[in-house]
Amino acid sequence: MTTKSIKIEYTEYESVEQLSTDDKELLTLAMNASANAYSPYSKFKVGCAVRLANGTIVTGNNQENIAYPSGLCAERVALFSAVAQHPNIGITSIAIIAQNQDGKWCGASPCGACRQVIGEYESKSKNKIKIVLYQNDGNIVVFDGIDSLLPFRFSM
C-alpha cells in the first residue's frame, strides 16, 4: 500500500491590473458576456471567455431553463460554441467571472461537468488550457491546466 498526495499549483493576483494583457482582455470579455446571461431563476450571471490558438475569442454565459437540467453553464456554452465554430483550432485559455443579484462581481469556479469538458478539450487541443478565475475577494487565481482542478478525471 502506498499513500500518495497531489499538489495543486496556481498563481494568485491581487487585482485584474496585475494580469497579463491577454488574460486581462479575456477576463474583461467574460465580464461583458455575463451581462447577457439568461438567469431568471438564480439571478446569478456568469460570463466566460475562451481564447483559441489563433487569437479568436468566443464568449458565453449561463442559460437557465424552467426545467433546470435543460440549462447550461456559461463555461460549456462558450466551450461548445468555440469548438462548434472552430473545430480544428485548439483552446489555450478560459476566463470565468460572475455577478450576483446586486451586480457585484463574484467568483464562479467551474462545476465538475465543466471541468470534465475543459479536460476533454485539453486532450483534443494537445495543450494545457490556462484557467483564469475571479474570486469573491477580488483576487484572481490562474491555473495552468485542468489537472489541478480535476485530477483523476474520467478518461479512456
To the query of whether residue 12 is one of the catalytic residues in this protein, the response is no
- Of the listed 12, 14, 25, 75, which one is catalytic? 75
Q: ∠ at Cα 127 (123, 130), nearest 5°?
A: 110
Q: Which three cell numbers stand for residue 81?
A: 460554441
Contacting positions for Zn ion (CB under 5 A): 73, 111, 114
CB of 62 to Zn ion, least distance (A): 8
Q: Check: CB of residue 30 under 8 Å from CB of residue 13.
A: no
CB 156 to Zn ion: min, Å? 22
Interacting residues of 139 by C-beta distance below 8 A, sequence separation 6+: 12, 13, 14, 15
Nearer CB in complex with Zn ion: 35/111: 111
| Residue (27 or 117) nearer to Zn ion, CB | 117
- Active site (catalytic) residues: 75
